[in-house]
Amino acid sequence: MKNTITKMVATASFMFASVLSGMAQSNLGSDCGCPTPVSSRPTVLMSTLATSGGAADGELLATNTILDCAHTWILDKKIYVPSGKTLTIAAGTVIKGRAAALATNATALTVERGGKIFASGSPTCQIVFTAEADNLDGTYAISNKGQWGSLLLAGKATNNLTLAANGPFQAGVGDGRLCVADGLGTFEGFASTNSKDQFGANLTAGETFDDNDNSGILKYVSIRHSGAVLQVGGEINGLTLGSVGRGTTIEHIEVISCADDAMEFFGGTVNVKYFATLFGNDDMFDWDDGYSGKSQFIFGIKSSTNDTINTSPDADNGFEMDADDQKSNLLPRSHPSIYNVTMIGSGKKVLTSDNSGIAAIEAKELTEGEIYNSVFANFRYGFNVIKALGTRTGTSEAYHNWAATGGNGSNSLKVKCNTFVGMDKDIAIDKNAAGTLLSSDTAQFYTTDLNTHANTIPGFTYVWSMNSANNTVATQYDATPNPALSTTGCPTAPVDGFYSVAPYRGAFASTGKNWLSDWTYAQLLSVTPGLQPCPTDINADGVTNNVDFLILLGQFNQSCH
């Protein structure tokens, strides 16, 4: 529920909550018995747990290797969790990635096909992956991006990679050249000859896909300042998921200040719930190569409009959606199903790099998929869908999958019941350069599919201001419409054990506790109102006493998060 107490009390609460948030990070893990402050924990190089696999990587040895929160673990090389082995990370643990002098030596943690990671944090004892230079008190500038590699999971679930359509692996030319065998790909930026960096199944060698494959558990995990460049066109994403199966649990994840996409799926069937990304470059949520999982409750925000230091050189889409990325009509096409998203762009209008965008939803390369009941704000385009075939064989592109009467795959791309705020254009065809927006397109977008345009929304503030050099927030944003935006006549999330009932548009309910509260970096920086815990020392005089009680009594039945 929105904080509606008096200006004096709100100011005191903001100041005190900021102090509490900083303490919560430096004292990370205190609620689960971890030593505090974090700086008091002795450091251990993760390479000491591994046998050498080369000058810049290794493999974990023990079947059940455990990283405890009594130490700070330094990821000083490329470390792998091999097939048949597990890595368990205790709640409250901090893993710091070391910066590398050479791009090829960028540090990363990769869970191989058949390996597992069990990283189950909690709201008060999250697990943090960050840069070695981060002191965890909120002062490490959010403009620090690409300081280390990141976390990669390789699974055995379905993808649509084939050598015949994709051609052999070529370094630095994108995922359309990741294929090393039918069904088998290599993570961007890594050597194609290293089996430790491969995902999927080698169909030519008789392997089969396993859509229920289990790579482990990631819960309440924060990944910060990652995305190092391994080679041109081969940055590491905040969280990279290659053919990861639906047996894997991924929820309550945040990616902060990543130099590339926050989360990218290369095929696979894994489901994701409660995902946040702040201040990163490039795309917030990117899928390719036949990804078909489910997602609910996604929040993303770019740097503030006035932040020239933190401006990304990339496309900066909310969603970037591909089916195959090589114009080859491969099956199965990507087809995830997504509910309850809030994404806020930086207002950037000119594309300075990359190959697409700038859109909240960038639909291309024959993608399918479903996006419902969401809020998108401050992008150049709301929904930009590619219609021009270019060099693609066949008669269809992503547009034809969306259009109600579009030929092959018609209506297999659904964008329904979403609200678009502050866009130059809510809908565009080929960025309206080569494509023509027809009256039937606008009728489908607004009337049939119940998407809406808004200049402003009550309770929702997407124009904000922050200095990314010192993490000072001058003006907060507010990502929660109040009252809630209606979903009358809209599809509801299936009752299937994964989705939750959410009768509103966007990632957050207008009442109750915001799911970003308590554990996220957004709370640490106080970038949005309503994320701070309710303080007891309201007047911030250092003690909780009858003065605080009287202030609260005067505001009885009001609330904060």
Could you report the per-residue pLDDT of 81-92, keeping only the tens digit for each?
999 999 999 999
pLDDT at site 23: 45
Q: Is the sign of the CA dihedral 83, 86, 92, 97 positive or negative?
A: negative
Distance in angstroms (rounded) separating the CA atoms of residues 387 and 410: 13
Q: Token pair for residue 181?
A: 């065998």
Of 77 and 214, more confident: 214
pLDDT at site 530: 64
Please compute the mean of the pLDDT values over residues 380-386 and round it to a whole number.
Answer: 95
Distance in angstroms (rounded) separating the CA atoms of residues 252 and 11: 29
pLDDT at site 56: 62
Domain assignments of the chain as residue spans, ordered by start: 15-193+216-454
State which of 44-53, 379-388, 544-553 shows the largest mean pLDDT. 379-388
pLDDT at site 1: 38
Is residue 353 pLDDT above 70, yes or no?
no
Is residue 312 pLDDT above 60, yes or no?
yes
Look at residue 492 and give its three-state secondary structure.
coil
State which of 225-234, 265-274, 399-408 shows the largest mean pLDDT. 265-274
Is residue 447 pLDDT above 70, yes or no?
yes
Position 326, amino acid: Q
Is residue 306 pLDDT above 80, yes or no?
no
Please compute the mean of the pLDDT values over residues 42-64 and round it to a whole number.
Answer: 79
Q: Give the lowest-confidence range in 18-32, 66-80, 179-193, 513-527.
A: 18-32
pLDDT at site 393: 75
Please compute the mean of the pLDDT values over residues 537-545 and round it to a whole number.
Answer: 51
Name the band, by pLDDT with cuts 50, 70 and 90, for residue 80: very high
Name the band, by pLDDT with cuts 50, 70 and 90, for residue 30: confident
From residue 122, alpha-carbon distances to 28, 32, 70, 197, 290 in Å are: 11, 9, 17, 29, 32
Is residue 366 pLDDT above 60, yes or no?
yes
pLDDT at site 233: 58
Please compute the mean of the pLDDT values over residues 8-20 and round it to a whole number.
Answer: 36
Residue 540 contacts residue 547 (beta carbons within 8 Å): no
The CA angle 321-402-445, to the nearest 5 degrees, is: 105
Task: Please name which of 548, 552, 545, 523 lies closest in space to residue 20, comparing C-alpha atoms.
Answer: 523
Please list the residues that pair with 63 across neighbouring strands.
none
Is residue 425 pLDDT above 60, yes or no?
yes
Q: pLDDT for 451-502, tens place per residue? A: 999 999 999 999 999 888 989 888 999 999 999 999 999 999 999 999 999 9
pLDDT at site 324: 82
From residue 154, alpha-carbon distances to 80, 195, 265 in Å are: 11, 11, 10
Is residue 10 pLDDT above 80, yes or no?
no
- In the chain, how long is the greatest CA-to-CA distance? 75
pLDDT at site 14: 37
Is residue 368 pLDDT above 90, yes or no?
yes
pLDDT at site 410: 73
pLDDT at site 551: 58
Name the band, by pLDDT with cuts 50, 70 and 90, for residue 315: confident
Of 160 and 138, more confident: 160
pTM of the entire predicted model: 0.90
Please compute the mean of the pLDDT values over residues 351-369 and round it to a whole number.
Answer: 85
Distance in angstroms (rounded) separating the CA atoms of residues 265 and 200: 12
Look at residue 15 and give its three-state secondary structure.
helix
Name the band, by pLDDT with cuts 50, 70 and 90, for residue 171: low
Q: Which residues contact 400 (CB under 8 A, 6 or more apart)?
A: 387, 406, 407, 408, 409, 410
Please compute the mean of the pLDDT values over residues 99-124 and round it to a whole number.
Answer: 93
Mean pLDDT of the chain: 85
Percentage of residues in the chain having pLDDT higher than 70 = 83
From residue 238, alpha-carbon distances to 56, 365, 531, 541 in Å are: 20, 23, 23, 40
Q: Is the sign of the CA dihedral 500, 480, 248, 179 positive or negative?
A: positive
- One DSSP character per residue, 159-219 reads ----HHHH-S--TTS-GGG-EEETTEEE-TTS-TT-GGGEEE--GGGT----TT---EEEE
pLDDT at site 543: 52
